[in-house]
Structure 1
Amino acid sequence: MSELSLKVLAAGSLRAVWQPLMTSFTLQSGIEVDTRFGPAGLLRESIEQGERPDLFASANIAHPQRLKALGLASRVEVFTRNRLCLTARKELLAAQPSWLALLGNRALKVGTSTPLADPSGDYTWQLFDTLERHHAGLGEYLQQSSLKLVGGPASQSVPNGELAAAWLIRGGQCDLFVGYASYARRLRLCKDLAVIDIPENYNIQADYAFAQCYEAANPLSDFLLSTAAQEILFREGFARNL
């Protein structure tokens, strides 16, 4: 890449916020950014197999830390955070307004991202582990019965412009979907869907971190930690990196 252009690999859950972030960065620095999105676990594998981005923005810190341990990244830092939420067909709430009752209803299909390939799936499995500790049998049932619908090597691609939870529920692939809370604001605009917050004592914190692979990406790394970037991330449903 030229000194005025950077190659980035970024977690798919950053797609919506990445455009305003990179627009602001380019206006500030004059540096263009070419970004490819995908499940963070699969992107990390592509780097291990020889792909060489300037920076990798991951939906968890474990993947950047692994790259640093392998000598494939020089700088790793958390730049924002996320949480999980539950999305359901709105009519389901009339009979079962509780998120626990919905997850425990064995007549309903629960959709998730794919663990190991996609951090959203990893965080969801952590949520199920927490549920198992509080409600014996529930977490184990969900791990065995949930449908891994997105984020895997063989998963269907979510159409451009679609929100995964809305697309999957409306298409009948699941009745409920466990996904990132950063999508909640846009999902709440869907009149046929309901977004249910997961209480803090059950929820999982998702630490988003970058792996800087080349010195050329230092301005972008610094920008992601800046007040300007943090405000854009917060506006789009992510947490400020305090």
Structure 2
Amino acid sequence: MRALAAGSLRRVWPQLMADFPEPVETQFGPAGLLRERIESGEACDLFASANLAHPQALLAAGRAQSVASFASNRLCLTLRSEVLRDDDDWRSVLIREDLRVATSTAGADPSGDYAQTLFTRMGDAGEAVRKRAIALVGGRSSAPVPAGRLAAEWIIQGGQAEVFIGYASYAATLREIAGLTVIDIPEPFNPRAEYGCAVMTAQGQRLADFLQSDRAKAILQNEGFLPGGAALTRPTKPNP
């Protein structure tokens, strides 16, 4: 069986596959770029995306057999601890013009798309942050994050930016790294990242069923993911 999976699943995927009874060859990457590969003819049995819109688009185009939501995520801020002021919160960190804010690449990587949604929800202040933000990972020409490193850690410790907007599923691990501080983003500003899988073949349905199982949900939630929504089995309009 062959799967294409969002890069944000890379750390939890081995735990999931350890409980799945069949061998699965998996390639990871930004979900938007993986979808383009499938649309260009690359074969896989299942596509696991960090944005439900990508599997839904494949379903609507008749390329996928069904779609299911299996997990969700949120965003958080990671920053270099030494730049944090006593009165800082998530909003003040983003609007401080002395701090460089990094994101993933919108359009190619859902993390970057969710960061853009965050800026929109911030109103005028967010528009100013949008103009300053730097897309450093997840794009077609982005430098690859070194193996075993998290994007936020690599970017901040490497001096490329002081703040990184990324997935909250990494928060527990990032909080254990010396010199980094993680700040939660409250609702209603924080967008919900809905993870979905597109079943491309009958074989892939078995993996999709497992990803929706109680065992898989427990593994995902132990790694910082949140529960997903209900299964979808028919074409629906992609999320905006």
**TM-score normalised per structure 1:** 0.93
Q: More deviation in 157-166 or 87-96?
A: 87-96
Task: Say if 2:142 is the partner of 1:147.
Answer: no
Match of 1:64 among 23, 33, 55: 55
How far apart in 2 are the matches of 1:54 and 1:129?
A: 35
Partner of 1:210: 197
Shift of 1:95: 4.3
Contact kept in structure 1, 2:73 and 2:168, CA below 8 Å: yes
Partner of 1:76: 67
Partner deviation per Cα, 1:45-95 (whole Å, 9 max, x = no partner): 000001010000000111001111111101101000000000001112234
Contact kept in structure 1, 2:45 and 2:201, CA below 8 Å: yes
Higher helix share goes to which structure?
1
Shift of 1:195: 0.3
Contact kept in structure 1, 2:4 and 2:26, CA below 8 Å: yes
Partner of 1:23: 18
Secondary structure of the structure 2 residue equivalent to 1:56: strand
Alignment of 1:76-225 (within 5 A): 76-132=67-123, 136=124, 138-225=125-212
Partner of 1:8: 3
Shift of 1:96: 4.5
Alignment length, in residue pairs?
229
Give the letter aligned to residue 170 of structure 1.
Q
Consecutive unaligned residues of structure 2, counting only runs of 5 or more, are 230-240
Shift of 1:241: 2.7
Partner of 2:234: none
Consecutive unaligned residues of structure 1, counting only runs of 5 or more, are 1-5
How far apart in 2 are the matches of 1:33 and 1:185?
A: 28
Contact kept in structure 1, 2:78 and 2:180, CA below 8 Å: yes
Secondary structure of the structure 1 residue equivalent to 2:10: helix
Moved over 3 A (4+): none
**TM-score normalised per structure 2:** 0.93
Shift of 1:9: 0.1
How far apart in 1 are the matches of 2:2 and 2:193?
A: 24
Secondary structure of the structure 1 residue equivalent to 2:63: coil
Q: Percent identity?
A: 52
Contact kept in structure 1, 2:101 and 2:164, CA below 8 Å: yes
Contact kept in structure 2, 1:68 and 1:76, CA below 8 Å: yes
How far apart in 2 are the matches of 1:227 and 1:217?
A: 18
Contact kept in structure 2, 1:81 and 1:205, CA below 8 Å: yes
